[in-house]
Structure 1
Amino acid sequence: MSSSPRTFLIVGATGQQGGAVLAALSKLISANDNKATPPKILALTRSATDSHKAQALTSKYPALGLTVVQGDTKDTAPIFAAHPDITAVFLYTTPPNEEAQALPLLEHVFSSSSSARKIQHIVFSSVDRGGDAASWENPTEIAHFKSKHEIELRLRDLCSSSPSPIKYTILRPVAFMDNLNPGSLFGPVFASMWATMPAERPLQVVSVRDIGLFGAKALLAGPDDATLGSNRAIGLAGQELRFEEARDVFRRVGGGQRELPQAPWIVGKGVRWAIGEVGTMFRFFEEKGYGVDIEALRRQEPELQDLETWLKKSSKFEFDNAA
């Protein structure tokens, strides 16, 4: 970790990925024992005063001493004008209209009249599209995958042509284990869609916790780090398994007394048929699939969670016997 003063802007601080980055930063900075100057953390949210989740961030992560900032990535000039000391940004987008969420921020950072002159590093959370090389070349037919691909290409082009030394780290996660979480209908529906895939076809999955961990480590390592910076794209997955294997893991963690919550199989089929983009995405899973080298990633990060570890340590499921 560098000892020079740094300021990180975390976009979507109350969302899944932004929150995971804050949680990982809190853990890593707390473990640092003041050996390096801690960064200043700005938590960006669209509603800093009216959102209970936003107001709770400072007490939730006391080790960060963070500042909650209200703003929108579609109009970032006021954010950077008010905080000209920002040196790095964690950025992610969600469907729909993802380019509109990211490109205004990127164009402002790289504009000649930018108020974001100190930025050196942009960490963007995208999506894997079949492995390292394939992800650069293959936008896929999935609308939100294509949007992230366009953002990646624009970020790469801007960094390569910028007279200022700004570098990127692109994180490319696969399907979220967290899609299975209880608390809404989506978990059982996602399970039912996964169940429609051919029995022999595996799916790569990742914990959102691990996206946050890699995002936080990339920010702390800095733009010139050979592993997590320096214009690198990193596929993120914790395990590759078939649906029946996922059900077996759930049964094992639950002591053989519980089943993975799943809507009827026909619901999964119906959603795939009714929502075109979902159907296209699952056809991609079946015909091509993600392509992260999980073993290589685990050598880089031994704490990478598989499904069993996620269920026990990071999921919202409660198991009496989980250690």
Structure 2
Amino acid sequence: MDPRNQSLSEFLLMEVTEDPELQPFLFSVFLSMYLVAVLGNLLIILAVGSDSHLHTPMYFFLSNLSFNDICLSTTTIPKMLANIQTQTRSITYMGCLTQVCFVMVFASLESFLLAVMAYDRYVAICHPLRYAVLMSPRVCVLVTFLSLLVCLLDALVHSLMVLRLSFCTDLQIPLFFCEVVQVIQLACSDTLINNILIYSATSIFGGIPLSGVIFSYSQIASSVLKMPSSGGKYKAFSTCGSHLSVVSLFYGTGLGVYISSAVTDSSRMTAVASMMYTVVTPIMNPFIYSLRNRDMKGALRKLTGRITSLL
């Protein structure tokens, strides 16, 4: 009997919990996490847009990062909430491919945005006289658009390559959402080209931005250490603190996914690590920037004051 399912209609995602009594609690927890992620990042976007003092390249990229985090959370959490509520594990074939595509787009774009934000800090600290030219509004918009375009093209290529695969009857994905590597592992047909593309994309979309971040901050550290004033050093490092925290969280949780999948056979452990990567990071970013950035805290106070007065 041919193990391939020629009438493939759906995949099965990992069950969040096998205990029916825990399902209402977990539904409330994940719903709260999703609402915090969306509202927190939305507040960042509104604060940047409403305060003219924040109309700078750094906050332009921050607002784009917040919007990207909203999209990344929306790609994964609502489907998981629906499955918990209906006590099902299924996701349609096209729904799974759509989720694969958008997860790749927003995860890759997050990496690019963090790299561009590091470059922005590098130019501001190491080349302040050229900052207005190198980080003009036109350049910022163009860089963001090109990053999005490249990420979209990459995700479409991977999605189209998945479409050519034949799948076995065992269609259980050991994650709470569809991820391209896990989907490819379920295929019965040859996946050599798919794996080559994934490794190449990981090197490009992960390695190059991370290398850019490391280069930018090595140059920043070198320039700051040469400053004669301790006050100047503190100011320079304080402007980078929030971004460094976000970079560490993003790449730390991303690295945790691959380490956990490499060193353990526990699909539950890998699923938890992937949850940190796609859910916790978008939640924490607004808190990091609002708590560590004085300008952002001031803008948020003004925004909440306006909202309160309207109510």
Q: So what's the TM-score if we normalise by structure 2?
A: 0.22
- Relative contact order (C-alpha < 8 Å, sep 6+): which is higher? 2
The structure whose residues are more often helix, as a share, is: 2
The structure whose residues are more often strand, as a share, is: 1
Task: Report which of the two structures shows the higher radius of gyration computed on alpha carbons.
Answer: 2
Q: So what's the TM-score if we normalise by structure 1?
A: 0.22
